[in-house]
Structure 1
Amino acid sequence: MQAICVAGKNEIAIEGLRYVVDIYPDSNIFFIPNKNDLGVDTWQPSFKKYALGRGIKQVNLEDLYEIENLVFLSLEFDRIISPKKFRGAQLFNVHFSLLPKYKGMYTSALPLLHGEVTSGVTLHFIDAGIDTGDIIAQIEFDIDPGDNARDLYFRYLANSKKLLRSHIDSILSGEFSSIAQESMGASYYSKSSINYSSLSIDFNKCAFEISNQFRAFTFREYQVPRFEGWQIIGTEILLDKSHLKPGAIVSEDSGSFVISTVDYDLKLKKDYYPILWVASESGDVLALELALKFVDDINARNENGWSALILASYHGQIALIDTLLNCGASMSVVGYNGTTPLMYAFSYYERHGDERAFKMLLSRGADVSAVDNAGKSLRDYMIERNCLGLIQYA
């Protein structure tokens, strides 16, 4: 009987395991999560949580070494694989770059730093090197000029799922071909190639190069580059040339800075999302109205997975809930655990006995029957917590 192990993290590992379990249920199926996967959904779903929820056996790498007829899928796995330790195994990896370029680390940042206009995902054999195995298949895609590292990462996810769906049957059956990687054009970057503990922008560069630095280092769940105390959420290369010292401020307004560079001036767009989220929590209507002039997505979630409407609902901010809903905030945008704004408004009622936020969301069409990632509805929580004052609405 064939044995299959999926190792890794996030949506791509879940996608691979889901396919294997659904299509090959008679195989011996195992999984290995990354070391930092605590079994809790964050901005990405937990692979460990999903796999255990499907009843899949968790193993260690060492448990696999003696298994014959093993297919091993590395999907954002955090450990280096030594093929010689395995007995009769077929070892595969999906790498987030268009190999042979960008072997190794930081594939969501380095192509942007280098001004690449395309990237891709690669399905390849795992050999004794780092991302050096023969290539089975690739998907190439364009990088948009406004893409930051987070955008590029999600392009990798979307295209790696397509790559898996197209080729997983062939690698499990052994009916595929592969080609050796080219030596020309290859590149490799180690963990030391970017020091994320002390990121800084080098302004003694051309506008294009500075813009690429901001793009490469913008990944909201991890960091957003700063300038003059502001997080910078985007850039725009202008046609003007101020010829001031590179990095000097040419002008500033409520929404942006304009700075000088080696060549063209560069607009740095101020990040108003933190102001939006803080205002939604504190009830600052004026700050909210200001932030709404400068944000593109009113439903964007912060690093904790909370949208402005969720924050306002959890803190019972009636005026802000009304403003946000009138400006297009969605009650279907939920937290990492699937918790709805109405559930958060119930939490406010539970803590303070104030039902106004709850009733406002209800009057605007909130779905009382929605369930979270644990499969629980609002009514379930009311009963579980013995807080029944609003149960007639659920």
Structure 2
Amino acid sequence: MGTPDFAVPALKALIASHHEVVGVFTQPDRKGGRGKKLLCPPVKVEAVEAEIPVYQPERVRKNADVLQTLKDLRPDVVVVAAYGQILPQSVLDVPRLGCINIHASILPKYRGAAPINWAIVHGEKESGVTLMQMEAGLDTGPILEIHRVAITPAMNAQELHDALSDLGGEVLVDALDKLEAGNLPATIQDDDASSYAPMLTRESGRIDWEKSAQQLVDHIRGFYPWPGSYALREIPCAEAGAQDDLECSTLKVHAARVAVGAGSDALPGTIIQADCSSGTLQIATGEGVIELLKVQAPGKRAMKARDFLNGCDFSVGERLL
């Protein structure tokens, strides 16, 4: 049971192993892209290519047909990786060895929908993949194995996603063999040490210049590529007769770093350096100075700060919101 790219390496590992994949459950096809065409989930694409039966129920909970289909498949174990639906106890009880979830954090920290993003946003130095025995609670089941990876200072959420996705595929088959042999003991989670990683929204990416430069760098890394990080800039209204009015334009920030050794008494969000020749674009924050490395103006492609400064009218003293 899985849906996005994150789950594909796990499915590939199972297909290539001595285990038999008797069925794949994934989310229904959805419209997406510029043309709003009907798109198949990545897991479905992989399953169809391997000629594995695919099931795409809109809802799993309180769905008698789904429950009966699963019973008819008679699975020994169900592997779940970013499926996108909460499984009811009736489904969890079907497989002989239970349901095993591949969760992209070191549980009990970062239970929930977006553990990869929030680990980076909060400045964590490591993350990992937890294999857990599922129960009715949200990522609360007993831990079977934890496999760790370092979060390097420049790593963004997409890079960590790819690393953890591959890691899940690498460790899964061996863990299932241990489970079948009865050699995979479970450890109850410490609820007091738990934290929650809520679902992301467009507003999650809004930059708060009152935070420190390091916190903002982590914010930009953690929300790349989605929902992305952005600030607002006030510009004169383009409508005729409204020269004195201002409207907000969005500036997306794709990459940044702490400006080591730089300091400023300017209000947070104030541009303190915008040098076309050196390509230096620095902003005052609540603590320290941040240097924007890659940005994107409305209707434009993402570009390095030097190229951006050559074609814009940013000026020292202007304040981003």
TM-score by length of 1: 0.61
Question: Does 1:206 find its partner at 2:212?
Answer: yes
User: Which segments of 5 or more consecutive residues in structure 1 lack a partner in the other structure?
Assistant: 1-6, 280-286, 294-394
SS of the equivalent of 1:55 reads coil
Relative to 1, partners in 2 of residues 1:36 and 1:197: Cα closer, same or farther, differing over 3 Å?
farther
Aligned-residue offset at 1:29:
0.8
Residue number among 166, 173, 180 corresponding to 2:174 in the alignment: 166
2: CA distance, partners of 1:174 / 1:151? 34
2: CA distance, partners of 1:67 / 1:204? 55
Which amino acid is 1:21 matched to?
A: I
Partner of 2:318: none
Relative to 1, partners in 2 of residues 1:154 and 1:37: Cα closer, same or farther, differing over 3 Å?
farther
Q: What do residues 342-393 of structure 1 show as CA deviations (whole Å, max 9, x unaligned)?
A: xxxxxxxxxxxxxxxxxxxxxxxxxxxxxxxxxxxxxxxxxxxxxxxxxxxx
Within 5 Å, which residues of 2 pair with 1:164-313? 164-191=172-199, 194-197=200-203, 199-219=205-225, 223-226=228-231, 228=233, 229-238=250-259, 239-254=261-276, 255-271=279-295
SS of the equivalent of 1:73 reads strand
Residue number among 153, 167, 170 corresponding to 2:161 in the alignment: 153
SS of the equivalent of 2:23 reads strand
Aligned-residue offset at 1:274:
10
Matched-pair contact (CA < 8 Å) for 1:67–1:87: no
If each structure's helix is expressed as a fraction of its own residues, which one has the higher value? 1
TM-score by length of 2: 0.73
Question: Does 1:33 find its partner at 2:29?
Answer: no
Aligned-residue offset at 1:156:
1.5
Partner of 2:120: 112
2: CA distance, partners of 1:189 / 1:231? 23
Matched-pair contact (CA < 8 Å) for 2:22–2:73: no
Partner of 2:46: 50
Which amino acid is 2:287 matched to?
A: D
What number of residue pairs does the alignment pair up? 274
Partner of 1:144: 152
Relative to 1, partners in 2 of residues 1:104 and 1:36: Cα closer, same or farther, differing over 3 Å?
farther
Q: Where does structure 1 differ by over 6 angstroms across 4 or more consecutive aligned residues?
A: 37-40, 272-279
Which amino acid is 1:225 matched to?
A: Y
Question: Does 1:24 find its partner at 2:29?
Answer: no
Aligned-residue offset at 1:175:
3.6
Q: Compare relative contact order (CA 8 Å, sep 6+) and give the higher one, 1 or 2.
A: 2
Which amino acid is 1:58 matched to?
A: V
2: CA distance, partners of 1:277 / 1:203? 24
Aligned-residue offset at 1:57:
0.9
1: CA distance, partners of 2:203 / 2:265? 32
Aligned-residue offset at 1:276:
9.7
Aligned-residue offset at 1:88:
4.7
2: CA distance, partners of 1:39 / 1:276? 21
1: CA distance, partners of 2:51 / 2:137? 33
2: CA distance, partners of 1:272 / 1:262? 23
Matched-pair contact (CA < 8 Å) for 2:134–2:141: yes
If each structure's strand is expressed as a fraction of its own residues, which one has the higher value? 2
Matched-pair contact (CA < 8 Å) for 1:103–1:189: yes
Matched-pair contact (CA < 8 Å) for 1:91–1:126: yes
2: CA distance, partners of 1:109 / 1:252? 30
Partner of 2:94: 87
Matched-pair contact (CA < 8 Å) for 2:80–2:102: yes
Aligned-residue offset at 1:155:
2.1
Q: What do residues 292-351 of structure 1 show as CA deviations (whole Å, max 9, x unaligned)?
A: x9xxxxxxxxxxxxxxxxxxxxxxxxxxxxxxxxxxxxxxxxxxxxxxxxxxxxxxxxxx
Matched-pair contact (CA < 8 Å) for 1:256–1:270: no
Aligned-residue offset at 1:230:
4.0
Matched-pair contact (CA < 8 Å) for 1:243–1:263: no
User: Which segments of 5 or more consecutive residues in structure 2 lack a partner in the other structure?
Assistant: 58-65, 234-249, 311-321
- Compute the RMSD of aligned alpha carbons: 3.5
Aligned-residue offset at 1:152:
1.9
1: CA distance, partners of 2:149 / 2:172? 16
SS of the equivalent of 2:170 reads helix
Relative to 1, partners in 2 of residues 1:165 and 1:12: Cα closer, same or farther, differing over 3 Å?
farther
1: CA distance, partners of 2:155 / 2:127? 12
